[in-house]
Structure 1
Amino acid sequence: MRRTDGDALSPPLPATAPAAPPAGTDAAALRRLLPYLWRYRARVAVALAFMVAAKLANVGVPVLLKHLVDAMDVKPGDPQALLVVPVALLVGYGLLRFATSLFTELREWVFAKATEGASRRIALEVFRHLHALSLRFHLERQTGGMTRDIERGTQAVHSLISYSIYSIVPTLVELVLVLSILALRFDPWFAVITGLALAVYIAFTVSVTQWRTQFRKTMNELGSRAQSRAIDSLLNYETVKYFNNEDFEARRYDEQLERYRRAAVKSQATLSLLNTGQQLLVALSLVAMLWLATQGVAEGRMTLGDLVMVNAFMIQLYIPLNFLGVIYREIKQNLTDLEKMFALLDREREVADAPGAVPLATADWTVRFDHVDFAYEPARPILQDLSFEIPSGETVAVVGPSGSGKSTLGRLLYRFYDIQDGAISIGGRDIRTLTQASLRAAIGIVPQDTVLFNDTIAYNIAYGRPDATHEEVVAAAKAARIHDFIAGLPLGYETTVGERGLKLSGGEKQRVAIARTLLKNPPVLIFDEATSALDSANERAIQAELASAARGKTTLLIAHRLSTVVHAHRILVMESGRIVEQGTHAELLALGGRYAQMWSLQKSGAGVVL
């Protein structure tokens, strides 16, 4: 067989939960897998019982075959030959063959729930953990490589369980039964030769497999890199087209494929070496066993049926002996894949609920930034000693040049990151003392860069509140001034938007995002350039709807175009992470400072990027 491969502000609390120790070793990975199987222990016991029954039937086949051959001591052409055919032995032979398959299938049927259940629980745990990791992790990750690691790790769960219950234990049971029969029924040398061959075979397989594992790991890593390169290029399809860089992307992808090819060839060469060595050991052991058997028949110590039985035993042992090498190689590979997936589970949460965190429950939705310092990287501070307040039910707008830290305010309020110093509070409660789920449930955001799910328009709008009725979805779409556009589509609300919403224009995506947030209807709103992709007519129409939606809600309005913030209760002007001016639109114009300069430039039509 050929194989292939309402309190006062609280002090800052720890932002991260302790990480689990890394897997590190094969034994550690297996220990982490066992609890997922423990809940299915009853099924494991039943499956093992069926496995033993299958092996007993399988070992009984050569014994029955021996008696069948010995009973056929008739002369050719004898008219009475058919009368001496042992019909009972023939029927028994067939029944044993059927029983082997029957018990094997019953074993797999009983244990399928355990295998699939354990795989499902691990995959779900990884999925939940990935969503719990910080925004920094998801900005730095390579989607293709990570998804491939998860796919391989989930498949490794299937394989490890299957190999342990379906292969390793059954093989050991069959070996013990066969060696016992050979030692007790015939010459003990039969058992000695088989045992020695097995020991040498296992030692050879383990040593060579450990040596070639490095090549397999390299091949997997290069495969993940190639996958990441391909997915990254496809996700940026339009950018590739804009710059006519199809050939450039193909060359970059081919470079990764070439590295993968070289690693795969080297891995296959070492696999061929392992296969050849294994077959040589098996062939030598078979020759030695048959030589002993033929000597026994020639000397009268064994019958022809004994020779047939020994040969049948060797054929039956050949498959599990051969498969032991496959099992070990696959287990090593699967443990490597499993460790990679567990490494994702071991990734420390940069932002985690503090011990004793409580749900957000308040009637006061005042948002306060109190002497906040923040930096994505230590050498690059973003916010410096920033303090301001958004009174409950009021709208505060933030304007300023790109890179001044405006969008960072929304990310910190959402607690995508934790601040280095100071405090952010809602209703007088430091947000680090609250559960993240309750905090984010109270906040709705229309981000500057709108990304939609590759699903229908109705699904994307309803994502703001999944239990919303279709009528509520339509009402939100009307408020966002996108209902007429949707109604004009052949499939209406069932129109799919494509990967990341690429089938829609920037303005259409932004209006879907606005509808989604309006449907959520939270007490705190963040509009981060919510109308930047809209034309002037649509922007003016939607501004009235947004103002209506923000009425009575605590709203943070981040904008480039000053015309969208003139009605805010207060306007903050930011530069280099600090507030340099604040007041109403009229007060800031009267001040004649930075805001007045920006307003003058925009009003005169000179334009400025803010």
Structure 2
Amino acid sequence: MRGGGGGRGGGGRVSSGDISAQKAANAEAPRIPNLLSRIGELFRPYRGQLIVTIALVLVSAGISVIPPLLTQQAFDRGLFPPGGARPDVPVLLALVGTMVLLWLASAGIGVGQTYLTARVGNSVMGELRIRLFSHLQAMELGFFTRTKTGVIQSRLQNDVGGVAGVLSNTISSVVGNTVTVIAAFVAMLVLSWQMTIVAVVLLPVLVIAQRRVGQVRARIATKTQESLSEMTAITQETLSVSGILLAKSFNQQNAEIGRYEAENRNQISLQIRQQMSGQWFFAIVSVFLSVIPAVIYLVAAWLIFHDVPVSAGTIVAFTTVQARLLFPLMGLLRVALDLQTSQALFARIFEYLDLVPRIADAPDARPVRSRELGRVRFDEVVFRYPDAPPDSPATLKGISFEIEPGQYAAFVGPSGAGKTTVSYLVPRLHDVSSGAVLFAEDDVRELRHESLIGAIGIVSQETYLFHATIAENLRYAKPGASDDELIAAAKSANIHDTIVSFPDGYDTVVGERGYRLSGGEKQRVAIARVLLKDPAVLILDEATSALDTVSERLVQRALDRAARGRTTIAIAHRLSTVVAADVIFVVEAGRIVERGTHAELLRNDGVYSKLFAEQLAAAAIPEFGD
């Protein structure tokens, strides 16, 4: 069995039944304990800036309710002073000047407050993204073989990006609007408690309605993010070089367009539902708050008829304060809805952050010892993939062997026998189910993973090169490597002459996954990259099986040179490439059924002898037309 089943997009094409099951499982946000307190913890490193922000918000909110009170004084003392006298211009100028100064101060404070909130919000968002990316880097290989790459990308981009606005605006909006609402309410009470009762009598009903709307929006937000994940996965699968090549090869461009269109229609529907959810609620709230001034005029008339002293300035000031109550109150209700919606996104982010890597360093893990460096031993190793059904047979069934330092060991056998799994267990990309894998006489579970990987180089059948220059791809193994070191590694890998024949030489951009290079060229660049690392143990996972005869010969010479002086573990499909191995292990159905040199295994007339004879006969059959 291959390592968990690769495939396009990191998880292969998923059936419609799998997609339906995934969507059903994610119809609502995952339940995360203490979610609000964990969100609050994200802001802990920015306590100082938050305190300053809150102080600025409090000052700004306090200032915002003073001008309406000065408006009352402007009417009652400046424009219409007691006794029916002419307007008191000096008093009016003083009041108007004070209001202008307050508005200027409020504007300046608002700029500073916006800068601080934007800085804190975006810093928290950036750290959250890095934290999630770092955590995903620590996940075991199996996580990525069973999860679509596009889904992972969506968590990093769409989910974290979706909470950006909330992180940036929540503190200032909640604190500022709350203070403004409270201050406006107090000012209204000071002006007229009777009119205040009329103005706020229905507010509790609005708060209850807002909570119901928020719950609906949170559920829609979760479904929207799942749809975005699926769209990202489709894009990643179909617009990669491999995806485009596959679609064109089978003339399936229209099918891929149809798949994207279907999910896009779902996304449009969800976006409309999310934007429309609560719109009637806010429309009713807006109408209610807009009608209040007219109602206040009627209440004021009623009070005057009942000999309650209400001046014109009081009515103007009250309606002004009530109008200033409208926008903060609407803002608070919207923020409350946004918070309920963002909780669904935070829950999806924390769901990934709460994943525990199955492979992690032990607390007392130690570095690889140099004393027995290169020695590899399997001791009664049993391995079953973690996501395999409980009643399924193990991939490896109690295999034991030892490879001496500097020895060239090959693993051969039928497809699905478990050969590649052996190569994954040495660098601890998977953990054994039972038994032990020993590296330099230490159980790999007791070693620091970074140190273990540092001593191992891997060349796989599916070479991965970044969309960068050849030099940058080589330096991935050794960032500080000099040009001379690059050239030496490339010469050892039989690729230097090819590189310098390109117009840009080592600065040639290889394209996504190295598609501008041939298969043999990519493999030799990968070998040069491993040689630059200079590992003690070299793992070759069917490194030539996908190449033509000429390319295989060039790559094989590079591999032979790379294997000199180091322990080499070769997973081979073509037996002709390992006839010179010091020891050959024949794997069948998860067990080692034969071991020995090429000559010894041929004399045994067993599984290896039959496989070799079959490949020899297949190679001797001439192609049609020869």
What TM bracket, shorter-length normalisation? 0.7 to 0.9
Q: For structure 1, which segment, 109-118 or 518-527, has the greater mean C-alpha deviation from structure 2 after superposition?
A: 109-118
Residue of structure 2 equivalent to 1:356: 364
Q: For structure 1, which segment, 90-99 or 121-130, has the greater mean C-alpha deviation from structure 2 after superposition?
A: 90-99
Shift of the 139–108 alpha-carbon distance from structure 1 to 2, 3 Å rule, reads same
Residue of structure 2 equivalent to 1:32: 38
Residue of structure 1 equivalent to 2:5: none
SS of the counterpart of 1:40?
helix
What runs of 5+ residues in structure 2 fail to find an aligned partner? 1-28, 622-626
Selected match of 1:248 from 235, 255, 259: 255
Selected match of 2:384 from 356, 375, 391: 375
Residue of structure 2 equivalent to 1:15: none
Asked if residue 425 in structure 1 is aligned to residue 438 in structure 2, the reply is yes
What runs of 5+ residues in structure 1 fail to find an aligned partner? 1-22
Superposition deviation, residue 374 in structure 1: 1.3
Cα distance in 2 for residues equivalent to 1:442 and 1:116: 39
Q: For structure 1, which segment, 471-480 or 39-48, has the greater mean C-alpha deviation from structure 2 after superposition?
A: 471-480
Asked if residue 203 in structure 1 is aligned to residue 208 in structure 2, the reply is yes
Superposition deviation, residue 163 in structure 1: 4.1
Residue of structure 1 equivalent to 2:16: none
Superposition deviation, residue 396 in structure 1: 0.5
Residues 65 and 309, structure 1, Cα contact 8 Å, conserved in 2 = yes
Cα distance in 1 for residues equivalent to 2:33 and 2:71: 42
Q: For structure 1, which segment, 566-575 or 156-165, has the greater mean C-alpha deviation from structure 2 after superposition?
A: 156-165
Superposition deviation, residue 57 in structure 1: 1.9
- Letter of the structure 1 residue corresponding to residue 492 of structure 2: A
Superposition deviation, residue 517 in structure 1: 0.9
Selected match of 2:267 from 237, 241, 260: 260
SS of the counterpart of 2:239?
helix
> What CA deviation, in whole Å up to 9, does each residue of 1:489-525 have, x standing for no partner?
3333333333333333322222221121111111111
Residue of structure 2 equivalent to 1:450: 463
> What CA deviation, in whole Å up to 9, does each residue of 1:116-153 have, x standing for no partner?
33222222221111111121110111222332223244
Superposition deviation, residue 238 in structure 1: 0.9
More contact order relative to length (CA 8 Å, sep ≥ 6): 1
SS of the counterpart of 1:556?
strand
- Letter of the structure 2 residue corresponding to residue 150 of structure 1: L
Question: Which structure 2 residues correspond to residues 142-161 of structure 1 after superposition, within 5 A?
Answer: 142-155=148-161, 157-161=163-167
SS of the counterpart of 1:422?
strand
SS of the counterpart of 2:347?
helix
Residue of structure 2 equivalent to 1:386: 399
Residues 36 and 118, structure 1, Cα contact 8 Å, conserved in 2 = yes
Superposition deviation, residue 321 in structure 1: 1.3
Cα distance in 2 for residues equivalent to 1:37 and 1:486: 50
> What CA deviation, in whole Å up to 9, does each residue of 1:88-128 have, x standing for no partner?
43333222112112112212323444323322222222111
Q: For structure 1, which segment, 398-407 or 147-156, has the greater mean C-alpha deviation from structure 2 after superposition?
A: 147-156
Identical counterparts, % of pairs: 34
Question: Which structure 2 residues correspond to residues 538-553 of structure 1 after superposition, within 5 A?
Answer: 538-553=551-566
Count of matched residue positions in the alignment of Structure 1 and Structure 2: 581
Residues 153 and 334, structure 1, Cα contact 8 Å, conserved in 2 = no
Cα distance in 1 for residues equivalent to 2:599 and 2:137: 44
Residues 216 and 333, structure 1, Cα contact 8 Å, conserved in 2 = yes
Residue of structure 2 equivalent to 1:49: 55
Asked if residue 119 in structure 1 is aligned to residue 128 in structure 2, the reply is no
Cα distance in 2 for residues equivalent to 1:282 and 1:471: 75
Superposition deviation, residue 434 in structure 1: 1.4
Residue of structure 2 equivalent to 1:333: 341
Cα distance in 1 for residues equivalent to 2:504 and 2:298: 77
Asked if residue 342 in structure 1 is aligned to residue 350 in structure 2, the reply is yes
Residues 152 and 337, structure 1, Cα contact 8 Å, conserved in 2 = no
Residues 156 and 335, structure 1, Cα contact 8 Å, conserved in 2 = no
Residues 53 and 116, structure 2, Cα contact 8 Å, conserved in 1 = yes
Residue of structure 1 equivalent to 2:24: none
Taking structure 1 as the reference length, the TM-score comes to 0.88
SS of the counterpart of 2:415?
coil
Residue of structure 1 equivalent to 2:79: 73
> What CA deviation, in whole Å up to 9, does each residue of 1:23-42 have, x standing for no partner?
96577222112222212211
Residues 384 and 577, structure 1, Cα contact 8 Å, conserved in 2 = yes
Cα distance in 2 for residues equivalent to 1:524 and 1:183: 81
- Letter of the structure 1 residue corresponding to residue 368 of structure 2: L
Asked if residue 322 in structure 1 is aligned to residue 330 in structure 2, the reply is yes
Shift of the 412–453 alpha-carbon distance from structure 1 to 2, 3 Å rule, reads same
Shift of the 304–124 alpha-carbon distance from structure 1 to 2, 3 Å rule, reads same
